Amino acid sequence: MAEQTVAPEHRFETLQLHAGQTVDPTTKSRAVPIYQTTSYLFDDAGHAAALFGLEQFGNIYTRIMNPTTAVFEARVAALEGGVAGLATSSGQAAQLVALTTIVTAGENIVSTSNLYGGTYNQFKVTFPRLGINVKFVNGDDPAGFEQAIDEKTRAVYIETIGNPRLNVPDIRAIADVAHKHGLPLVIDNTLGAGGYL
């Protein structure tokens, strides 16, 4: 296995350029290669079975994993102080994956009403089709979130900076409400400043 080029204690600037990357042992490429393949070869049927059976880690199909995407995921996780990352094809896909991992049919999330239109439609139309209720709080008042939480609530959802209203919620106060009830606070940071700030 190739040697890791950065360590967690490196500064943000170094992590931006090198986190998650190991030098390609064949080409010695300094930059991350762009792997444009859709599929991968297997050593034999046993190797394929071990990969698909999740008994061994490795590339199976680019829709599931790709070496270029893996570097991106590891780099973002390093920049955000996380343990792992997951790249998706869009913000709406990321939101769907994150929330449907936390909440299932018959449960709910509590969300601000100050939302990007696509998010509002996903919450108002798509989630109910999956049996997931979304309880909307009018605005960003922490007391409104507190009142909406019940025994079936699994997450609280806000945007760092609301789109299109450009409202800025009190993240700490809303996080305190969520955490008081043992709930994760999920935040769309599309209009926010990212992990650096």
Entry pTM: 0.78
Q: What is the pLDDT of residues 112-143, one digit of tens each?
A: 999 999 999 999 999 999 999 999 999 899 99
| pLDDT recorded at residue 197 | 57
| pLDDT recorded at residue 169 | 94
How many residues comprise the chain? 197
Q: Listing from the earlier edge strand, what are the strands of the sheet with 133-137? A: 133-137, 108-112, 153-159, 185-188
What is the phi/psi pair of residue 136, to 5°? -90, 130
Closest CA to 185 of 166, 161, 157: 157
Sole residue written with tokens 């204690």 = 9
| pLDDT recorded at residue 7 | 63
Which one has a higher pLDDT value, 142 or 77? Answer: 142
Q: Give me Rg for the CA atoms of the chain.
A: 20
Q: Where are the domains of the chain?
A: 12-80, 91-188
- Read off the pLDDT of each residue in 76-103 and give the average, rounded to a whole number: 91
- Does the structural domain 91-188 have CATH classification 3.40.640.10? yes
Of the pLDDT bands very low, low, confident and very high (cuts 50, 70, 90), residue 104 is: very high
- Read off the pLDDT of each residue in 89-114 and give the average, rounded to a whole number: 94
Q: Is the pLDDT of residue 158 over 90?
A: yes
| pLDDT recorded at residue 89 | 87
At 2, the amino acid letter reads: A
What is the phi/psi pair of residue 40, to 5°? -135, 155
